[in-house]
Amino acid sequence: MSKEHILVVDDDPNQSDMISGILESCGYRTRTAGSARAAIDIYHEESFDLVLSDLKMPDMDGLALYTNLKTSNPDLIFIVITAHGSIASAVSAVRVGVYDYINKPVDTDELLKTLDRALEVKRLREENRLLREEMHHSEQAVTIVGSSPKMVALMESIQTVARTGATVLIRGESGTGKELVATAIHANSRRSEKPMIKVNCGALPETLLEDELFGHERGAFTGADYQRKGRFELADEGTIFLDEIGEMAPHLQVKLLRVLQEKQFERLGSSKTLTVDVRVVACTNRNLEQLVAEGSFREDLYYRINVVPITLPPLRERRDDIILLADYFVRKYCEENSRAPMSISKEARACLVRYAWPGNVRELENCMERAVVLEPSSEIRASSLTLDREFRRSVREGVVDELLDSRFSMDELERDLIRRALVKTGWNQSRAAELLGLTRRTLQYRMEKYSVTSETGDGNEG
């Protein structure tokens, strides 16, 4: 774990170098600035955990610097260094939000203790922000779109299981909406006023995941310079969502099993047992039964998390919902991008329904967002959809099959294609020829061959 980054500001280079040297010898990362104005530029170039500044400087004093930086970071942790004669000014600075002040000449022990207290405050603020964000997310309306029989049954299962305290295992392919279902379960439960904490078990290395789940005590390992609460502790009385649980290492599975059975665990580096009241909702796209058979997933843990199984159908098995979802995503991204309402053409809808959607709902959402952003007109057409070439080929083949089944003659088909291209381009022959991949002269020849003119039955369309 890397140490915090501190900006040291002082117009006396000897003073700033001395303080920087003390901090770096203790493992902190530092950067120095010789003036308040230089500090402003540096602060916006890099990310700092704390600013340590001299109070009296010629171009701009420390309090003015604090006021300036605080406009871009309301949670700024700022400490001033002051001479004995300026203590009154330092006290006034603390009253307006500066964390603390340190007297000159700087005492190393006082400096490090003050920094330690200030950084602990910063960490607590971050933990509280995390809890507020998780609670905010859990309070948001959870929208699960679908009217197919499978989705109706799924929503009934969510309502039923949400009222209980049972552990839930959500299964389904990637992109089917497992996290959304977990959020819906929490939002409809008696724990909805408490936080829902989410952990991606497959995104973190084994050592970091253990710290993330259970936290650590100060001094538990190299770089553990403060006590840190784990996600289970933060989720007390709420819900913890364990995403990709099938990726969890065996020794962590043992610890998780104990939490599920006894509601107890210890932080890393501590012998003190903590007790929590947490509902566990897990999800996976892996075959856990196969992992159990292979010995990479504990059988006893499998039965502990598989109390109430919920399986999400892939999008290809709920095609009745595709257009419903597509319309929902178009409305959503039109609003987010301040666009006027857009429609989806008949041809585009046919493409959406035909496509297999290997990435499920997530792929459909990305497709519709991209179409909303990139389509210049008010209608999303088939050409607006970024679907793979093989699918486009299969769609063309499907159209050809339908034409053959309808017993169209080649002459009828060619005449209708020419007429549609002309209508689509406002009877602009050059543009229609380009659309059909013909020269203008060839188009004119075929228009004459099939008697296609704007006056022959289609006069009002051009």
Taken in order of first residue, the domains within the chain and their CATH numbers are 5-125 (3.40.50.2300), 140-311 (3.40.50.300), 317-403 (1.10.8.60), 408-461 (1.10.10.60)
Which pLDDT value is given to residue 387? Answer: 76
Which pLDDT value is given to residue 247? Answer: 93
pLDDT over 90 at 160, yes or no = yes
Phi first, then psi, for residue 19 (nearest 5°) are: -65, -40
Among residues 451, 454, 453, 459, which one has the least CA distance to residue 411? Answer: 451
Which amino acid, residue 188?
N
CA dihedral 369, 370, 371, 376 (to 10 degrees): 110
* pLDDT, tens digit, 9 for 90 and up, residues 21-65: 999 999 899 999 999 999 999 998 888 999 999 999 988 989 999
Query: From its phi and psi, is residue 346 left (phi > 0), alpha (psi between -120 and 50) or beta?
Result: alpha
DSSP 399-413: HHHHHHHTT--HHHH
Which pLDDT value is given to residue 275? Answer: 93
pLDDT over 80 at 9, yes or no = yes
* pLDDT, tens digit, 9 for 90 and up, residues 213-252: 999 988 888 777 777 889 999 999 999 999 999 999 999 9
**Would you say 130 and 243 are in contact if contact means Cβ atoms under 8 Å apart?**
no
**Would you say 54 and 12 are in contact if contact means Cβ atoms under 8 Å apart?**
yes
| SS3 per-residue string spanning 279-322 | EEEEEECCCHHHHHHHCCCCHHHHHHHCCEEEECCCHHHCHHHH
Q: What is the pTM for the complete model shown? A: 0.61
pLDDT band at 403 (very low <50, low <70, confident <90, very high): low
For tokens 């580096």, what's the residue? Answer: 269
Which pLDDT value is given to residue 431? Answer: 86
Region 71-76: mean pLDDT is 84
Region 357-385: mean pLDDT is 92
The span from the CA of 371 to the CA of 428, in Å, is 27
Q: What would you report as the CA-atom Rg of the chain, rounded to the nearest whole angstrom?
A: 32
85 Cβ contact partners less than 8 Å away, ≥ 6 residues apart: none
* pLDDT, tens digit, 9 for 90 and up, residues 342-369: 999 988 898 899 888 989 999 999 999 9
Cα 60 → chain centroid? 40
Which pLDDT value is given to residue 402? Answer: 56
Among residues 172, 201, 223, which one has the least CA distance to residue 360? Answer: 172
* pLDDT, tens digit, 9 for 90 and up, residues 280-315: 999 999 999 999 999 999 999 999 999 999 999 999
Q: What percent of the chain has pLDDT over 70?
A: 89
Question: Strands 215-216 and 228-229: what pairing?
Answer: antiparallel
Of 389 and 9, the structure prediction assigns the larger pLDDT to 9
